[in-house]
Amino acid sequence: MPYVPTVRGRRLAHELRRIRERAGLSGEQAARALGWDQSKISRMETARMRITSGEVVALCEVYAVEGEEREELVQLAREARLQGWWHPYRDVLKPGFSQFLSFEAEALTYRSYEALVIPGLFQTGDYARAVLRGTRSRTPEEIERGVRVRLARQERVTRSTDPLHVWQIIEEGALLRMVGGPKTMREQLEHLLELGSLANVSLQVLPFTAGVHAAIDGPFVLLTFGGYPDVLYMEHLLGCVYLENPEETTAAKMIFDHLRAAALNTGDSAALIRDRIKEIDRSA
């Protein structure tokens, strides 16, 4: 499997390039001083390989980095090599999604717009099961493993210490789409209300009356971090795309702000979800 860097791994790569440039050395000069190929320095600084704490110490010697700064870099290298909880599930993930999970695990804030279904971060087990069963051919075991991934992601939202701060906008149509039958859909909407009541979650519904809007081209997720650039994530049929260019992430923030202004506020959104639950009950 290809190396998937965590945010800490990416931060380490940025830091190694920064201290090399501060030392006034080219990649070629640094490699020659250590007896390495220049390509190794390049792979380190672009987060395309795992970096050991010993390699960090060697680089610090060449770049004359000492004391607390060196200790922080070595610690960052140790943390960057830890495998995420999702590692055993990579075989059931969409290509590139393990990288998203590595970002999500270390993000401070999560802004998301979803149009067609309840987002994975908010799904119940039965709803997730129905989505996974209906989107493509999977074995029962693959479906259950995929469900476990979606439920595990919610722990960052519901845990009491250092929770992920979430701003979620969902199209009204996702509330109307009957996934898994009335019982599954009712439980899913109740779960939405439960998560939406958390202090770290802001849940808004974008009603049909909003008409054409700024994100009509499709769903997206914008993640922010401490000490690392924002990441914009978008899915497509066969995989996903990550964008880190500040112009692109700033544009995504503006679009999200427009969506929040067009969406119902959190109270009215909760009322609409309750109305949908009543509709399901009446039709049962």
Residue 203: pLDDT above 70? yes
For position 119, which CATH number holds? 3.30.870
State yes or no: pLDDT of 60 exceeds 80.
yes
Residue 241 has pLDDT above 80, yes or no: yes
**177 with 249, same domain?**
yes
DSSP code for 218: -
Instruction: Please choose, from the candidates 279, 273, 121, 132, the residue with its C-alpha nearest in 3D space to the C-alpha of residue 206.
Output: 273
1: in domain = no
pLDDT at residue 1, as a whole number: 59
Q: What is the pTM of this model?
A: 0.81
159 and 270 share one domain: yes
Helices (H), strands (E): how many in the chain?
Answer: 13, 6
Considering the chain, what percentage of its residues have pLDDT values greater than 70? 99
What total number of domains does the chain contain? 2
Helix (H/G/I), strand (E/B), else coil: 167: strand
Q: Are 69 and 112 contained in the same domain?
A: no
Give me 55's structure tokens. 């390699």
Residues 38 and 155 in one domain: no
Domain ends where: 28, 62, 80? 80
Residue 249, C-beta contacts closer than 8 angstroms, at least 6 positions apart: 222, 229, 230, 231, 232, 243
Q: What sign does the CA torsion over 161, 165, 166, 167 have?
A: positive
Is residue 66 pLDDT above 80, yes or no? yes
Give the tens place of pLDDT for each residue, 99-113.
Answer: 899 889 889 999 999
Distance between CA atoms of 55 and 61, rounded to whole angstroms? 10
Whole-angstrom distance, CA of residue 255 vs CA of residue 173: 20
Asked if residue 166 lies in contact with residue 110, where contact means CB atoms within 8 angstroms, the answer is yes
159 φ/ψ sector (left φ>0, alpha ψ -120 to 50, else beta) = beta
Whether residue 228 is predicted with pLDDT greater than 70 in this model: the reply is: yes
Residue listed under structure tokens 């639950």: 277
Residue 283, sorted as left (phi over 0), alpha (psi -120 to 50) or beta, turns out to be: alpha
What is the extent of the structural domain holding 134? 87-283
179: closest CA among 138, 118, 98? Answer: 118
Where is pLDDT greater, at 167 or 94?
167
Judgement on whether residues 130 and 190 belong to the same structural domain of the protein? yes
Rounded to 5°, angle at Cα 14 from 236 and 69:
145
C-alpha distances out from residue 12 to 9, 77, 216, Å = 5, 7, 37
pLDDT at 81: 80
- Judgement on whether residues 75 and 91 belong to the same structural domain of the protein: no
Please indicate, yes or no, whether residues 262 and 199 belong to a single structural domain of this protein.
Answer: yes
Predicted confidence (pLDDT) per residue in 128-182, tens digit = 999 999 988 899 999 999 999 999 999 999 987 889 999 999 999 999 999 999 9
- CB within 8 Å of 123: residues ≥ 6 apart: 131, 150, 188, 191
Work out the percent of the chain whose per-residue pLDDT is above 90: 75
Measuring CA to CA, which residue among 92, 85, 136 is closest to residue 106?
85
